[in-house]
Structure 1
Amino acid sequence: MKRPGLGGGEVPAVFPDWSPYRDLESASRAYLRDPDVALEALGGVLRGASVLGFTLERFVNEVNGVWQEVVICDGSRLILWHGEDIPPEEGPPGSMTSSLRVVPVSSVTEVGCRRRLTRADDGTVRVDGIDVYLLLRSLDEAPSGEEGAGSPRHDALRFGKTLDDGGAGQIVRLEEFARLVASAVGRPLR
């Protein structure tokens, strides 16, 4: 199955599974469309720091084309890279944004992880989805037009995987990532 991409080309709607790869470079090369862009940007921030865990996301939407994200935890920071295609009316074909955000783990106030479970007729339970949020100390103002517009709310990072969007391996890896971040929240930095 393919979906139309920017510039008339087609982009696969189903991407390879990154979850078997335990190192960031291999996982990025297997999953991201633009791994070199992501790895160069992340390497400039990591500067030799150990990657303790990561999660990846990629999807195609009809408006902006490919949207990609890498989130790394090195024990003291969350390093987020985000790449997104620019719509054709806003730039030449093939244009994209590449952005970085670094969030100290000390600014995470809460980690939430909700697993969606299904029970088979024989009683076995299976995880078929996971939603993770990281609540931050920083404030984010609600965009105008939304309920409560203009009122401050805590910034949050949100991640999700399902059997249909990522598969069982990526669900497990996202849960591992949430546990890694949760284990660092509230602990003194070394």
Structure 2
Amino acid sequence: MGAPQDWAPYSSVEDAARVYLRDPDLALDQIRSVVEPSAIRSFVMSRGFTEESWGEALWQEVLVTDGHRLIMWRADDDMSTSDGGADRRRILMASVRSILLSTITDQVLSTEYDVLEDGTRRLAEVKLRLYTQLVTRARQKSVTETDIYCESFRFVKSVDNGGLAQMQRLLQFGRVLSQSL
């Protein structure tokens, strides 16, 4: 696959996935296994590369909401070993996760603007942070005090990471989630 096209101009997750993701059929099959495409109220996508000891690895992510759940599909290139580590092979780890919106306790939708010399503003970055009541770990500090860590999610689009259309779509996604909470 060559350089991906921008997904933001597409109104359907199917069309967007086909131009943006490396593995659109896998993503769409796994997303369809938990939500009907017609029920999707909003979506966003991200992808990027990480440098691993064995080479460059791609990660891909699709977030959709049906107004009741946050559904996250993620796939990561990875390396697996079998038979005691002698046989290394490249794998794709893919998962789909559903989180009830009722478990989200806080949502922060932030915008950052560049202020130009003439005083006008230009959208520079959008951040969506979601905090849940889903406990990921706890650490006992003393006999009477325990730190509890809840799962949170952060999604960012900027001028350099997705551009204006993807920032606007993340704003839309955050607003749809907020209306559904």
> Same-fold call, TM > 0.5?
yes
- Tell me how many residue pairs correspond in the alignment: 167
* Alpha-carbon distance, 1:141 to partner: 2.3
* Alpha-carbon distance, 1:88 to partner: 6.6
- What do you get for the CA RMSD once the two structures are aligned? 2.1
* Structure 1 counterpart SS, 2:39: coil
* Alpha-carbon distance, 1:92 to partner: 1.8
TM-score (norm 2): 0.85
Tell me if 1:67 matches 2:59: yes
Aligned equivalents of 1:22, 1:142: Cα separation in 2: 41
What is the aligned counterpart of 1:130 among 123, 126, 130?
A: 126
* Alpha-carbon distance, 1:104 to partner: 0.6
Aligned equivalents of 1:121, 1:157: Cα separation in 2: 35
Tell me if 1:182 matches 2:174: no
* Alpha-carbon distance, 1:130 to partner: 1.0
Q: Which residue of 1 aligns with 2:89?
A: 92
Q: Radius of gyration: which is bigger?
A: 2
What is the aligned counterpart of 1:164 among 160, 168, 181?
A: 160
* Structure 2 counterpart SS, 1:175: helix
Q: Percent identity?
A: 31
Q: Which runs of 4+ in 1 moved over 6 A?
A: none
Aligned equivalents of 2:73, 2:64: Cα separation in 1: 9
Aligned equivalents of 2:138, 2:155: Cα separation in 1: 19
Which runs of 5 or more structure 1 residues have no equivalent in the other structure?
Answer: 1-10, 144-149, 186-190
Q: Which amino acid in the other structure matches residue 77 of structure 1?
A: R
Q: Which residue of 2 aligns with 1:118?
A: 114
Q: Which has the higher strand share?
A: 2
* Alpha-carbon distance, 1:21 to partner: 0.3
Aligned equivalents of 2:4, 2:138: Cα separation in 1: 33
TM-score (norm 1): 0.81
Encode CA deviations 1:104-141: one digit per residue, 9 max, x unaligned: 11111111011111111111101111111111111122
Aligned equivalents of 2:46, 2:81: Cα separation in 1: 25
Aligned equivalents of 2:4, 2:137: Cα separation in 1: 34
Aligned equivalents of 1:168, 1:158: Cα separation in 2: 18
Structure 2 CA distance for partners of 1:117 and 1:87, relative to 1, 3 Å: same
Q: Which amino acid in the other structure matches residue 179 of structure 1?
A: R
Aligned equivalents of 1:26, 1:65: Cα separation in 2: 24
Q: Which residue of 2 aligns with 1:76?
A: 68
Encode CA deviations 1:68-127: one digit per residue, 9 max, x unaligned: 11111001111111100013768423x100111100111111110111111111111011
- Asked whether the equivalents of residues 19 and 173 of structure 1 are also in contact (C-alpha less than 8 Å), the reply is yes
What is the aligned counterpart of 2:9 among 6, 10, 20?
A: 20
Structure 2 CA distance for partners of 1:161 and 1:141, relative to 1, 3 Å: same
Which runs of 5 or more structure 2 residues have no equivalent in the other structure?
Answer: 83-87, 140-145
Structure 2 CA distance for partners of 1:171 and 1:41, relative to 1, 3 Å: same
